[in-house]
Each structure stands twice: as structure tokens, then as C-alpha cells.
Amino acid sequence: MAVAASAAPGALGTLQASRARLVAACCARLGPRWRLPGSWTCPRVDSTIWARGWTPAAGGAAWQRGYSAEVKTEDELRVRYLEEENRGIVVLGINRAYAKNSLSKNLIKMLSKAVDALKSDKKVRTIIVRSEVPGIFCAGADLKERAKMSSSEVGPFVSKIRAMINEIANLPVPTIAAIDGLALGGGLELALACDIRVAASSAKMGLVETKLAIIPGGGGTQRLPRAIGMSLAKELIFSARVLDGQEAKSVGLISHVLEQNQEGDAAYRKALDLAREFLPQGPVAMRVAKLAINQGMEVDLVTGLAIEEACYAQICKAGSALRNQYNPS
């Protein structure tokens, strides 16, 4: 008993130190000017910028909102910055009709490049991932391309898919997957990396890799259990079962299910409605809320509450700085 009692304080100290490191790492992701409580600093920004998410022009001399109707990329991925009442919403549209939107080396590279640009763009408020091809969201990895690879090339190819999907999961703003068609294997893993998933009732979703004598390699074995629970995730992966929109909604895989419309974009329209709901909210608060939720879900409750406290403190400190800036005593 004496040994156990003497060891307990050391173990508690180690646990507390570990939690402190996790909270510090969480705050570090907010940017170099965010700190833990006790050493707070925050950016000084104009109140309209705080409220609306404006960003400085090149050179920092003036503030502007420079949106274009569409960023020109290769046709396999269409990146659109929406305008007018939808300003702040960005749509990533996959467009590989001839290959059922499967993930090729080129498409993975294009998605990674687009995500890399979006993650540092403070004008972006919400990102929608959708298909430009009717009836298809994404059929997973491009198996025809993969069949031509040597055994030494397959591992790095799958690693690039996993890295790209992780990049989407780590985007600082809300992300919505609009599933208007088939989402299998890597396609569903791509959707699982988004914060919210909406689907048409006619959509088909599943992690079907075990049919090919492999396992999900783009995060599916980790994100599906977190989304619907471990037991049911095992059942779906073991059986390679494919769910329609209603079934996916019933197990919690998606948040909303819609009857498909004649245009074939019911899920996209719902995603757009949700994105519009997000636009009026404080942009920094949205980013910090997402960070607090994501980081907190990976740790125990006590550490998660500490992360929330640190994030909340930064929001309060930033708000106080704004009030002092415009209402000096």
C-alpha cells in the first residue's frame, strides 16, 4: 500500500503533464499568437473583419474580399468560390465521369493542392465536397490504375490517399459531404473525413474492401467506428455491406437524407442550405469550436474539458481586445 501511495502522486503528475501538453498542442493549432490561459495574446483585428471573416490584401495595406466565380483547374476537380449570399462557401466538385470519380494519382494530387490552398484562406467559411457526375459521389481508389502498379508502388499510393483524406479532416472550417450517388471504399472514407454528411435516399454507401481481400486504407477502420460505434462498424466492414441513404441515416452515418430530385443534386442543395446557416456565425468561433470538438473527442473527458476551457478563454480574450480597441477607457 505504501508503495502504491508513493507512486500515485508521480503518476498523477505525469497524467497532468500529458494533459497540459495536449491542451498546449491544441492551442498551438490556433496559430502562433494564441496561448494558454495566463499568457494570453490574440490578433488585433477590426470588428467587421472578426464578424465577417475578411482578410488582408497582399501587402497588408487594405482589406478586401477577392472572390472569383471559379478557379480554373483541370476538369477532374472543379473548385468554385460562391458569390453573393453564398460568399464564403467553397465547393470542391469531383468530375471523373469516365472513371466513376475514382481516386487516381492525379486527382489525389489536385485535391491535396486545393485543400492546401483552402486551409490558409481566411475568406473560406465552409467547404462542400460533392460530385459533378450524376449518380456517383466517388467509387474509391482507381483500381485500373492500381492494377498497373508494382507491389512497391501500392503502399505509397494508398498512403497518399490517406494523407489527402487526413488533410480534408484537418481543415479548420466546417466541411460537408454531399452524397448524391455511389460512395464506396475510399469514396466513403472521403465523406467520413467531412464534419457533416448528407445524402440522397438513392445513394449507396459502404466500405467494401474486404470483398477484394483487403481492408479500408484511407481511415475507414478508424473514422467509421467513431461515427457509428465500434460494433456496427465491424459488422459493416466484415460484411462489406452497402447501405442506401435511409439505412445510412438510421445508423447515424449521415445527418440528413433527402429524396432525390430530377436534377440529381438533392444532397448538394441540402449541403448548401446548411452552409448558409453557418455563414452568419463568428468565423473565428467556428474554427475554434471545431478544433475543441475534434481534439476533445480524442482524449478523456477531463482533458477534453481543459481543451474547451483553453479555447473558450482565447475567444473571450480576443473579444475583450476588440472591445478595448473600439471603446478605450
Indicate which residue of 114, 139, 141, 169 is catalytic: 141
Q: Cell numbers for 108, please give them.
A: 489525389
Indicate which residue of 114, 181, 185, 189 is catalytic: 189
DSSP per-residue string spanning 144-167: HHHHTS-HHHHHHHHHHHHHHHHH
103 DSSP 8-state letter: B
Active site residue 296: no
| Total residue length of the chain | 329
Residue 243 parent element (H or E): strand 243-244
Indicate which residue of 88, 93, 186, 245 is catalytic: 186
Q: Order across the sheet with 204-206: list the strands.
A: 136-138, 182-184, 204-206, 243-244
Active site residue 247: no
Find all residues with CB under 8 Å of 135, minimum gap 6, and list them: 180, 181, 182, 264
Q: ∠ CA 191-170-130 to the nearest 5 degrees?
A: 30
Indicate which residue of 88, 132, 177, 209 is catalytic: 209
Identity of the residue numbered 52: R
Active site residue 235: no
CA–CA separation, 190 vs 24, rounded Å? Answer: 29
* Nearest of 48, 77, 74, 23 to residue 283 by alpha carbon: 48
Q: Do 65 and 74 touch, CB atoms closer than 8 A?
A: no
Active site residue 155: no
Burial 182-193 (b: 16+ CB within 10 A, else e): bbbbbbbbbbbb
The torsion region of residue 44 among left (phi > 0), alpha (psi -120 to 50) and beta comes to beta
* Nearest of 148, 141, 132 to residue 108 by alpha carbon: 141
CA–CA separation, 153 vs 155, rounded Å? Answer: 6
Task: List the catalytic residues.
Answer: 141, 186, 189, 209
